[in-house]
Amino acid sequence: MDFTLGYLREALSNYDRSSVCHRITKKLMNGSYHSEQDFVRVLDEDEIQFLNNVLPDEIKYAFNEQDYIRGNQLNEVYELLI
């Protein structure tokens, strides 16, 4: 799995009660994506909206914890969603 998508999967574990999150996680685990862009292309509107809602908080948290690599990796996915 792509390094960036691994960070995304880890971040999503905080939201595992959501059915939309389960769908995204399932796509991450079952798909074979060569890049973050390939992954973003398979998301539906609900999944994109979900990520648009949770990723800013996850990115902020990573930077507050001085985990700049994680923050930057999650930001890469977020930028592709916009």
- pLDDT tens-digit map of 67-76: 999 999 999 9
Residue 20 φ/ψ, nearest 5 degrees? -65, -40
Residues 6+ apart with CB under 8 A from 25: 9, 12, 13, 16
Helices (H), 1-82: 3-12, 19-30, 36-41, 45-64, 68-81
pTM of the model: 0.91
Percentage of the residues of the chain whose pLDDT score is greater than 70? 98
